[in-house]
């Protein structure tokens, strides 16, 4: 009877995912791109490591590697030798088998990553679809009709790069700003245009004079704005405020909401966390929101040779 009960309880527990399963799931949101960072950014170096069988008990998500991230993916601090009189070292419980995702992994100290931990990454693809760019999930939450929207594509010499979505809404400006606040928190900048009624929203990952005019031109070409009309009924949603973009939007009567670069990235981390919890309910998912400590590299002191 006890054996049967144990078997039933075991079967009812959610199966632990593997490194391969989590990686595949992340790629459903973040497609691989040639000009992106390596998706498998840090792979466990063990001759018997197999992504198909390596179990994941904990998933850590962060924009960058931070102290909080290292506390979860690194080695526990052994304080047993500090002021200790006993010769027996402290025994720690086995840390959970961990997979980590970083948006900007560039300063990761690989030596501090615990054995067996896989670190995934996405920079370009994450920027495109999970911040303020071609983000269809965010667009739908703001009421944009994504079945009939425009893709702003091509940026900094990359014709394939998607940097924005432009679509129709029918919402007063103050309600849209309220929805944006729910998604991101307080905006860094909100500039009201010539009208309180918004019929077009542009979610953009770039903010300069050229992009502001490109959004207006695309809306005019689609017939959403009359030829020669201004941007009075347009809301331009982006991350970092830029002087050239602000001035161009003001001249066109366009409303602007700048949520901040980091807040836009945090939105993507939070979204991934929500989706991973739904897909892998038996796995701990931890989101870290803190600033990365800058790495201060020691300056090389030139060796002066004295000739005597």
Which sequence spans correspond to the domains of the chain? 2-78+85-125+268-288, 133-258
pLDDT string in tens for the chain (308-residue length): 555 444 444 444 568 999 999 999 999 999 999 889 999 999 998 889 999 999 999 999 999 999 999 999 998 755 544 444 444 455 567 889 999 999 999 999 999 999 999 999 999 999 999 999 999 999 999 999 899 999 999 998 888 899 999 999 999 999 999 999 999 997 888 899 999 999 999 999 999 999 999 999 999 999 999 988 999 999 999 999 999 999 999 999 999 999 999 999 999 999 999 999 999 999 999 999 998 876 655 555 555 555 54
Distance in angstroms (rounded) separating the CA atoms of residues 135 and 128: 7
Going 127 to 129 to 131 to 133, the CA torsion angle's sign is: positive
Residue in the block written with tokens 């129709």: 168
Distance in angstroms (rounded) separating the CA atoms of residues 165 and 296: 39
Contact 14, 280 (CB under 8 A): yes
Distance in angstroms (rounded) separating the CA atoms of residues 99 and 120: 8
Note the pLDDT of residue 140. 97
Q: What is the DSSP letter of 112?
A: G
- Number of H-type helices and E-type strands within the chain: 9, 11
Q: What is the DSSP letter of 40?
A: E
* Conformational region of residue 156, where left means phi above 0, alpha means psi within -120 to 50, and beta covers everything else: left
List Cβ neighbours of 110 (8 Å cut-off, separation of 6 or more). 42
Note the pLDDT of residue 189. 87
Note the pLDDT of residue 13. 57
Distance in angstroms (rounded) separating the CA atoms of residues 29 and 43: 21
Give the dihedral of Cα atoms 174, 176, 181, 182; nearest 10 deg: 120
Distance in angstroms (rounded) separating the CA atoms of residues 267 and 25: 18
Note the pLDDT of residue 64. 97
Alpha carbon of 300 to those of 296, 303, 306: distances in Å? 12, 9, 19
Tokens of 161: 């790069």
Distance in angstroms (rounded) separating the CA atoms of residues 293 and 308: 45
For the entire predicted model, the pTM comes to 0.86
What is the CATH class of 133-258?
alpha beta
Distance in angstroms (rounded) separating the CA atoms of residues 243 and 226: 27
Alpha helix positions (H), the chain: 2-12, 19-29, 67-73, 124-130, 136-141, 173-184, 209-222, 243-251, 261-279
Distance in angstroms (rounded) separating the CA atoms of residues 283 and 22: 11
What is the CATH class of 2-78+85-125+268-288?
alpha beta
Note the pLDDT of residue 301. 54
The per-residue b/e assignment along 151-163, b for 16 or more CB within 10 angstroms, e otherwise, is: ebeebeeeeebbb
Contact 208, 245 (CB under 8 A): yes
Contact 193, 222 (CB under 8 A): no
Tell me if 2-78+85-125+268-288 shares its fold with 133-258.
yes
Question: Which of 278, 296, 276 is closest to 286 using CA atoms?
Answer: 276
3-state secondary structure of 87: coil
Contact 259, 184 (CB under 8 A): yes
């Amino acid at each position: 009877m006890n054996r049967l009960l144990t078997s039933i309880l075991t079967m009812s527990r959610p199966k632990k995912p593997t490194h391969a399963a989590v990686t595949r799931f992340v790629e459903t949101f973040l497609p691989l791109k040639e000009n992106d960072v390596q998706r498998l950014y840090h792979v466990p170096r063990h001759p018997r490591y197999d992504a198909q069988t390596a179990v994941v008990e904990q998933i850590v998500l962060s924009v960058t590697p931070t102290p909080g991230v290292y506390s979860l993916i690194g080695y526990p601090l052994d304080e047993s030798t500090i002021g200790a009189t006993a010769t027996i070292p402290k025994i720690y419980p086995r840390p959970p088998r961990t997979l980590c995702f970083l948006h900007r992994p560039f300063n990761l100290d690989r030596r501090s990553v615990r054995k067996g931990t896989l670190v995934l990454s996405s920079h370009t693809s994450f920027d495109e679809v999970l911040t303020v760019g071609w983000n269809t999930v965010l667009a739908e939450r703001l009421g944009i009709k994504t079945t009939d929207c425009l893709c702003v594509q091509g940026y900094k010499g990359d014709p394939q790069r998607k940097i924005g979505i432009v679509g129709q809404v029918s919402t007063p400006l103050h309600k849209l700003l309220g929805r944006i606040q729910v998604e991101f928190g307080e905006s860094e900048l909100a500039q009201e245009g010539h009208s309180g009624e918004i019929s077009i929203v542009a979610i953009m990952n770039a903010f300069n004079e050229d992009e502001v005019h490109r959004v207006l031109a695309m809306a005019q070409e689609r017939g959403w704005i009359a030829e020669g009309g201004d941007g009075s009924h347009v809301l331009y949603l982006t991350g970092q405020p830029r002087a050239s973009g602000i001035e161009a939007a003001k001249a066109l009567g366009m409303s602007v909401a700048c949520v901040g670069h980091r807040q836009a990235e945090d939105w993507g981390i939070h979204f991934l966390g929500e989706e991973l919890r739904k897909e892998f309910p038996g796995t701990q998912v931890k989101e870290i929101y803190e600033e990365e400590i800058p790495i201060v590299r020691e300056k090389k002191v030139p060796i002066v040779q004295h000739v005597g």
